[in-house]
Amino acid sequence: MKFKIKNNIFTEAINNVNRALSTKTPMPILKSIKMNLTDEGMHLTASDSNITIKQFIPTYINNEQNIMIDEIGSAAVPGKLLLEVLRKANDEYVEIAMFEEKFIHINFKNSDFTLNCLDVREYPNIKLISTNQPIELDSNQLNEIIKQTVISVATSETRPILTGVNIKIQNNVLHCVATDSYRLSEKNVSFDFELPDINIVVPGKSLLELERLLVNTKEKVQLHLSNNMISFKMDQIIFQSRLLDGNYPETSRLIPKEFGLEQQFNRQELIDVVDRVSLLTREGATNIIKFDIYEDKTIISLDSPEIGKVVEEVHPLQQEGSLIRIGFNSKYLLDALKVLKEEIVTIKFTGEVRPFIIKTDDDSLTQLILPVRIE
């Protein structure tokens, strides 16, 4: 294998597939990227057995040559190290050649690198699923759905099913929900075209990596499903993930329907206030903040005997209902506020120890937070 390639294009592609690499895999070969160069272009594959990413770089894009091929072939190249080398490259093109089937030579400007490779024949045969009738979604819409729900997945493996996002389609409505038992994010999107009914749970870690790829994608994304896999096809990239086994708990009953107090805030102003009050948490203080709600103002505070105390005053744009005092995790509120797009948010309280929700004019999204009991 011997070729010359535009460095910016190659670096971006290597960075994309690197997201599937794991440093903890018991299979050393899975720390490598499989490079398969054909006359049509370069196929890059990386996998940790749970996530697989494959990207194709065509030899020509819009009649412009990106890869000058001297000899086709395959190699299993250490992915993390290759990416670091390419990021340091100070030339428009890099030249890459394999020799003795176990070394890869990288040349640019005045630099020469030689990296040890593993036997590409040991790379596992990873089957990428494909269906005849994929579900097609707008990439920006899919990115927004992930961003607004994945914040609530559990990070603890105590209940593995909660580490994923439950994705259901019923009656042409896409319903996505995530909860770690302390907060919940729910997104519902209706479509005016026929969609198949599904009920799956996609790992949150997989969706976070997919979200980073979607940022640079403008085209439609195709969803392909099998019994235990989901595949997202976009541009020249295929992103595939295992699904989580098990039944996701029914969450609709957790969302309150009646409220005793509603407050309306400027979203950015509330973010700024809560962020300042949360400064003490970075020094080890508790992350539980308190809302003391009065008729003309709300006092937001955090009190830590070990670190100190902070108090801020904020004035809601509108307020209606019984006054309360409530405490909850400041990070949960900040996470929820930051994934919203609207300028005005409404917080709806049901009581001092009952869940409250955050809503905007976008009725498709609900963020829920469970408070903690305070003195």
pLDDT in the model for residue 316: 96
pLDDT in the model for residue 22: 81
β-bridge partners, 311: 301
User: What CA–CA distance (Å, rounded) separates 15 from 12?
Assistant: 5
pLDDT in the model for residue 284: 76
* 136, burial (CB in 10 Å: exposed 0-12, middle 13-18, buried 19+): middle
Query: Could you report the per-residue pLDDT of 1-41, keeping only the tens digit for each?
Result: 999 999 999 999 999 999 999 878 788 899 999 999 999 99
User: What CA–CA distance (Å, rounded) separates 70 from 66?
Assistant: 13
Query: Could you report the per-residue pLDDT of 231-253, keeping only the tens digit for each?
Result: 999 989 999 999 999 999 999 99
With cut-offs at 50, 70 and 90, classify the pLDDT of residue 97.
very high
Nearest 5 degrees, angle CA 43-CA 48-CA 53? 35
pLDDT in the model for residue 5: 97
**C-alpha distances out from residue 42 to 38, 47, 124, 236, Å:** 6, 17, 18, 11
Cβ partners under 8 Å of residue 12, min gap 6: none
User: What CA–CA distance (Å, rounded) separates 95 from 93?
Assistant: 7
Mean pLDDT across 352-365: 96
β-bridge partners, 55: 44, 237
User: What CA–CA distance (Å, rounded) separates 61 from 37?
Assistant: 16
* Prediction pTM value: 0.93
pLDDT in the model for residue 235: 85
User: Which stretches of the chain are DSSP H helices?
Assistant: 7-18, 79-88, 139-149, 204-214, 267-277, 330-338
Instruction: Take residue 69 and report the two structure tokens written for it.
Output: 């091929």
Q: Is 210 helix (H, G, I), strand (E, B) or coil?
A: helix
User: What CA–CA distance (Å, rounded) separates 133 from 199?
Assistant: 17
Query: Could you report the per-residue pLDDT of 126-176, keeping only the tens digit for each?
Result: 999 999 989 999 999 999 999 999 999 999 988 999 999 999 999 999 999
* Arithmetic mean of pLDDT over the chain: 94
Mean pLDDT across 327-335: 96
